[in-house]
Structure 1
Amino acid sequence: MWRRASRLFALSMLLAATPLGSVSAGPDKVTIPLFQNPNTITTAGSIATIRTIRFLTTDDYPPFNFIDQEGRLGGFNIALARAVCLEIKARCTMQALAWENLQDALDRGQGDAIIAGIAVSDKSVRRLAFTEPYLRIPARFFAARGFAEAPSPGWPDRISVGVQAGTAHEAFLKAFFPKAQLMTFADQSALHAAVRSGAATLGFSDGVGIAFWFQSGDAAGCCDFVGGPYLNADYFGPGVSIAMPLDRPDLKEVLDEALRRLTRKGTFSEIFLRSFPVSFF
């Protein structure tokens, strides 16, 4: 009985999970999550000592890091890194490497920080320091337009929910929506097709991927999000941070302060809107 009550309580917390704040912008009220607390009091005395930051990233993970149509490095992470450097009046350089080479390059002193979505984990924190998260990737339900039933752990068996097999999203559904009729798919394309055709009543996946699918010709305006975002760190990670060597507490302090300033000034919101015209929150 205690375990069941505990699980239901945890689910209620998940349903209510929100960023530290959010703002809405534009005629369609795009929700912009704010995970940095702009009111945190700090003594960023090291800012004046950081004159150059050499960022390492990748160029193959749109919309976060990619080569644009003019052959330039762009994306959400790139714009954010440049804004950080402008905010603290530091010279900023960007170098794109293969994902598997990023941490070794940092260890060799080839860069000062990595902005590429390296996961914060028990293993990575033994090797790297991280800023406070500036973004989290929520899980979302989505369905054909017109579906209005709110997500519930008591969904009857008739509600079929599609999910990619072997993912954290599948594990989450099994833990918190045990009565849902799960339909597993080999990849996201098959999941999208099932929801679009009505073979699955709903789908469950990461909000970023679904938001960009909504804008594609393949989706053709078929579907929309249902319910709110799910931000359980145990399943979906603690968020997106900038990584740096463990022996650079000065750089961590400066980057955290810069991110807070960008949040306070609204610069983070501007970058978010340019990168994510369809909000995944």
Structure 2
Amino acid sequence: MRLSLTLAAVSLAASIALPLGGASAKEWKEVRIASEGAYPPFNFVDSSNTLQGFEIDLAHALCEKIKVTCTIVAQDWDGMIPALLANKYDVIMASMSITDERKKTVDFTDKYYQTPASIAVPKDSKLTNVDPASYKGLTVGAQSSTIHSNYAEEVLAKQGASIKLYPTQDEANLDLSSGRLDAIVADKVVLVEWLKKDGKDCCKLVGDIDVVKYKNFFGEGVGGAVRKEDADLKAMFNKAIAEVRKDGTYEKIEKKYFDFTVY
């Protein structure tokens, strides 16, 4: 089954709406999955303008298990949940953490990965730890509307840090490398991948945030977001997630992008 979709086709795919009155499990013939395309290695756009990454490969595998036709579309992060609720697509697979706050608006599948949150700083920084008190008077960046920005605004800001938010993680990374930030908060895997490439000469990790202590910010892992009324679709994806975990498909995809487990 051919499942990839270039960004040029996004507007067409997004215009297809579900039948009025919802759908039962047997009526799901097409499932539209949205991802951001700006959060490597989990989701990104390649040189041919096609969505790629761990989540994209996983989405393809889940659709094969579910045996439905899937299209994968790109959506800016800030509009993810509103567009889901507006029926522009059916599932979000964009490194969206399962949090109590988001559960008020949407439902989630079982988690399909969970990684630490970390802080990166310039190589010449005197920062040596992630203790919130150490960031007093400093400017810290994060991608807006994320668990990392929530932590920065609620924890670091209360300790006297100035918080600057960005539409994408790449923009936050760029400002750190350009000396316009003292630190950034993000997913550890995303930061490590950036530090291996574009950030290797400028920046370093200072440590991981205690996600157990701050569970109210960092949630229960990453899952697929669905509309609350689509319980049948959630059940289909949960079954598929369990199957790819059991039969080795998940591990095969994981090894393509990581040399450690992200589950």
Q: Compute the TM-score of the two structures, normalised by the length of structure 2.
A: 0.60
1:225 aligns with 2:168: no
Alpha-carbon distance in structure 1 between the residues aligned to 2:225 and 2:111: 10
What letter is aligned with 2:210? Y
After superposition, the Cα gap between the structure-2 partners of 1:253 and 1:102, relative to the gap in structure 1 and judged at 3 Å, is same
Moved more, 137-146 or 257-266: 137-146
1:55 aligns with 2:32: yes
Higher-Rg structure is 1
CA contact (8 A) 1:50 1:90 kept: no
Alpha-carbon distance in structure 2 between the residues aligned to 1:245 and 1:170: 28
Alpha-carbon distance in structure 1 between the residues aligned to 2:56 and 2:220: 21
After superposition, the Cα gap between the structure-2 partners of 1:159 and 1:85, relative to the gap in structure 1 and judged at 3 Å, is same
Residue of structure 1 equivalent to 2:176: 191
Alpha-carbon distance in structure 2 between the residues aligned to 1:279 and 1:223: 24
CA contact (8 A) 1:51 1:90 kept: no
Residue of structure 1 equivalent to 2:155: 172
Query: 5 Å matches for 1:254-273?
Result: 254-273=236-255
What letter is aligned with 2:54? F
CA contact (8 A) 2:84 2:92 kept: no
Residue of structure 2 equivalent to 1:243: 225
SS of match in other structure, 2:226: strand
SS of match in other structure, 1:230: coil
Of 98, 109, 116 in structure 1, the residue corresponding to residue 94 of structure 2 is 116
CA contact (8 A) 1:133 1:241 kept: yes
SS of match in other structure, 2:200: coil
What letter is aligned with 1:114? I
Q: What CA RMSD, in Å, does the superposition of the two structures yield over aligned residues?
A: 4.5
Of 60, 67, 78 in structure 1, the residue corresponding to residue 45 of structure 2 is 67
**CA deviation vs aligned residue, 1:185-220 (integer Å, no higher than 9, x gap):** 67733434559xxx96xx451134422320234x23
Alpha-carbon distance in structure 1 between the residues aligned to 2:236 and 2:138: 44
After superposition, the Cα gap between the structure-2 partners of 1:49 and 1:105, relative to the gap in structure 1 and judged at 3 Å, is same
Give the paired residue count. 221
What letter is aligned with 1:125? K
SS of match in other structure, 2:48: coil
**CA deviation vs aligned residue, 1:55-107 (integer Å, no higher than 9, x gap):** 23145424244432234332222211111122x25133114154437655665
Alpha-carbon distance in structure 1 between the residues aligned to 2:162 and 2:66: 51
Alpha-carbon distance in structure 2 between the residues aligned to 1:122 and 1:129: 10
Which structure 2 segments of 5+ residues have no match? Answer: 1-24, 167-171
SS of match in other structure, 1:253: helix
CA contact (8 A) 1:164 1:170 kept: no
Alpha-carbon distance in structure 1 between the residues aligned to 2:257 and 2:215: 23
SS of match in other structure, 1:133: strand
CA contact (8 A) 1:145 1:223 kept: yes
1:125 positional shift:
3.2
Alpha-carbon distance in structure 2 between the residues aligned to 1:52 and 1:116: 22
Residue of structure 2 equivalent to 1:274: 256
What letter is aligned with 1:210? L
SS of match in other structure, 2:140: strand
Residue of structure 2 equivalent to 1:92: 69
After superposition, the Cα gap between the structure-2 partners of 1:161 and 1:133, relative to the gap in structure 1 and judged at 3 Å, is farther
Alpha-carbon distance in structure 1 between the residues aligned to 2:30 and 2:114: 24
Q: Percent identity?
A: 22
After superposition, the Cα gap between the structure-2 partners of 1:72 and 1:159, relative to the gap in structure 1 and judged at 3 Å, is closer
Residue of structure 2 equivalent to 1:40: none
Alpha-carbon distance in structure 2 between the residues aligned to 1:103 and 1:235: 21
What letter is aligned with 2:71? M
SS of match in other structure, 1:131: strand
What letter is aligned with 2:31? R
1:227 positional shift:
3.7
Alpha-carbon distance in structure 1 between the residues aligned to 2:157 and 2:36: 35
